[in-house]
C-alpha cells in the first residue's frame, strides 16, 4: 500500500479556515526582518547562528538539543528515514500511527520504506494506550504521537506517552507538538526525558507564529538522538528568509499572545454555535475545532465554500464520518464563519 499525502487544493481567494494557519498573518516584525535581508544574504548560504540561538532560548534547550528544519514536515521525513531505512523489502521496519492522524506520518513512513501499523482511536477518540502497547513489536522503529492531536484537538496524557516510550526502547517516539502553543503543555524540559532519550519532540512555527509560508520547524532531542537526523537533513534546508524571520517572530510575544487569546475565544464561540445547532463536537486544545455535522457535512463545506470560506471535510479519516475541521483563530474570521454556517444549516432545515 502507498500513502499519498492528501494535497489540499489552495483556494484562489476567500477565508482560509481549512489548514489551521494563522489568518492574522505573521508578526509585522517578521516582515521588517525580511526587508532587511540583503542581496548578499540571498546570495550566500545561510548562517543559522542567530536563528538557533533564538529558538534554543525560546524552548529553553541547549543548541545541541535542537535541529532546525524546513517546517516540521521535514523533521517528520528525516525521522522516518533514520528510523525505518535498512529494514529490507521482506521484513520492513514498522511505524505505528494512531488514526485519525496528520497525513504526513504515513506518507513519510511509507516513503522511507516502512510498514505502517495503524491503531484506531477508541470510541469518541479516547487514546488507545493498551492497543498501541500491544502493537509494539520487535520491528517497531517509530511511533507517531500528536499532542494535541490533529484533527481532533484532543490531548494524550503524559503518563501514556512515557509508558509507550518505555515499552519501545528500540523505537523513536516522535512526539508532534505542532499545537503545543495552544495547549500550553509540552514535554520539552520535562525531567522524564532524561531516562527516555528515544523521545524526539517536533515543533512548528507555522501555526501559532504564522510562518507556514516561510517554512520553519524544529526537532528537540538528545544530541546523540539528533546526530543521525543531522546527517539526513540537508545542511541548508532552512532558507535565509526563514532564518531571518524566526528570531523576529519569537521576539514578538504580543502578537503571539494576542493570537492565542483569539483562538481561545474563537473556540468558545464555535462551541456555543455548535451547541445551538445540536452539532456534536470535541473540546479542542489546538486552534481548530472538529465537529460532526453528519449528513449535513458536505452541504456545510460546499455552502461555506460558495460564500468564500474554506473549511476541511475530514469525513475520509478514520472515525470521522461527517466531520468538518474548522480553524479557530482570528475572532472576526470565526464570526464570519459562524454566520455562514448558521445560514447554511438553517437553510437546510
Ligand X SMILES: *Cc1c(COP(=O)(O)O)cnc(C)c1O
- Burial class, 54, CB count within 10 angstroms (exposed 0-12 / middle 13-18 / buried 19+): middle
Longest dimension (CA), the chain: 61
For the CB of residue 151, give the shortest distance to ligand X in the complex, in Å: 8
| Residue 199 C-beta: closest distance to ligand X, Å | 16
150 lines the binding site for ligand X (CB under 6 A) = yes
Peptide bond into 127 cis (omega under 30): no
Rounded Cα–Cα distance for residues 25 and 211 (Å):
8
212 binds ligand X (CB under 6 A): yes
Stretch that binds ligand X, among 116-124, 202-210, 239-247, 289-297 (CB under 6 A): 202-210
CA end-to-end span of the chain:
41
Q: Which of 80, 121, 204, 239 binds ligand X (CB under 6 A)?
A: 204
How many positions of this chain bind ligand X (CB under 6 A)? 13
**Close Cβ partners of 161 (under 8 Å, ≥ 6 residues apart):** 145, 147, 173, 175, 187, 199
Give, as ranges, the residues between 51 and 110 that touch ligand X (CB under 6 A).
71-73, 102
Q: Give the nearest distance from C-beta 275 to ligand X in angstroms.
A: 26
Q: Is 256 in the site for ligand X (CB under 6 A)?
A: no
Residue 22 touches ligand X, criterion: CB under 6 A:
no
Regarding 154 and contact with ligand X (CB under 6 A), the answer is no
| Residue with the shortest CB distance to ligand X | 71
DSSP state for residue 114 in the 8-state scheme: P
Q: What per-residue string of b and e applies to 168-177 under the rule 16 or more CB within 10 Å gives b?
A: beebbbbbbb
Residue closer to ligand X (CB basis): 18 or 117: 18
Nearer to ligand X, 20 or 262 (CB): 20
Bridge partners, 97 (sequence order): 118, 144
Q: Which is nearer to ligand X, 73 or 313 (CB)?
A: 73
Q: Is 206 in the site for ligand X (CB under 6 A)?
A: yes
Cβ at position 215, least distance to ligand X in Å:
7
Angle between the 103-111 and 71-84 helix axes, to the nearest 10 degrees? 40
Q: x/- contact string, 169-188, with ligand X (CB under 6 A)?
A: -------x-x----------
Measuring CA to CA, how many Å separate 240 from each of 37, 40, 73? 8, 10, 18
Show the cell assigned to 23: 489568518
Closest distance of CB 253 from ligand X, Å: 20
Residues lying near ligand X in the complex (CB under 6 A) are found at 71-73, 102, 146, 150, 176, 178, 204, 206-207, 212, 217
Amino acid at each position: 500500500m502507498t500513502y499519498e499525502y492528501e494535497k489540499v487544493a489552495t483556494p484562489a481567494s476567500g477565508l482560509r479556515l481549512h489548514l489551521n494557519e494563522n489568518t492574522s498573518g505573521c508578526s509585522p516584525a517578521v516582515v521588517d526582518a525580511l526587508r532587511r535581508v540583503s542581496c548578499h544574504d540571498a546570495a550566500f548560504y545561510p548562517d543559522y547562528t542567530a536563528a538557533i540561538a533564538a529558538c534554543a532560548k525560546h524552548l529553553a534547550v541547549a543548541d545541541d538539543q535542537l535541529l532546525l528544519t524546513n517546517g516540521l514536515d521535514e523533521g517528520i521525513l528525516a525521522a522516518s528515514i533514520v528510523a525505518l531505512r535498512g529494514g529490507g523489502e521482506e521484513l520492513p521496519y514498522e511505524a505505528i500511527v494512531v488514526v485519525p492522524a496528520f497525513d504526513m506520518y504515513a506518507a513519510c513512513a511509507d516513503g522511507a520504506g516502512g510498514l505502517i501499523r495503524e491503531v484506531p482511536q477508541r470510541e469518541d477518540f479516547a487514546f488507545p494506550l493498551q492497543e498501541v502497547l500491544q502493537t509494539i513489536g520487535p520491528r517497531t522503529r517509530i511511533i507517531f504521537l500528536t499532542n494535541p492531536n490533529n484533527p481532533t484537538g484532543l490531548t494524550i496524557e503524559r503518563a501514556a506517552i512515557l509508558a509507550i516510550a518505555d515499552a519501545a526502547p528500540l523505537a523513536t517516539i516522535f512526539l508532534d507538538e505542532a499545537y503545543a502553543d495552544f495547549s500550553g503543555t509540552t514535554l520539552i524540559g520535562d525531567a522524564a526525558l532524561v531516562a527516555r532519550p528515544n523521545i524526539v519532540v517536533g515543533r512548528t512555527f507555522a501555526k501559532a507564529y504564522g510562518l507556514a509560508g516561510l517554512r520553519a520547524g524544529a526537532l528537540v532531542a538528545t544530541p546523540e538522538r539528533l546526530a543521525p537526523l543531522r546527517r539526513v537533513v540537508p545542511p541548508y534546508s532552512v532558507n535565509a528568509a526563514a532564518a531571518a524571520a524566526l528570531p523576529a517572530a519569537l521576539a514578538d510575544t504580543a502578537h503571539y499572545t494576542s493570537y492565542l487569546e483569539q483562538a481561545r475565544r474563537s473556540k468558545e464561540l464555535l462551541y456555543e454555535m455548535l451547541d445551538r445547532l445540536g452539532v456534536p463536537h470535541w473540546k479542542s486544545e489546538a486552534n481548530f475545532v472538529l465537529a460532526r455535522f453528519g449528513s449535513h457535512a458536505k452541504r456545510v463545506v460546499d455552502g461555506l465554500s460558495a460564500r468564500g470560506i474554506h473549511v476541511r471535510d475530514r469525513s475520509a479519516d478514520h472515525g470521522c464520518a461527517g466531520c468538518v475541521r474548522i480553524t479557530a483563530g482570528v475572532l472576526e474570521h470565526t464570526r464570519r464563519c459562524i454566520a455562514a454556517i448558521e445560514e447554511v444549516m438553517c437553510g437546510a432545515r
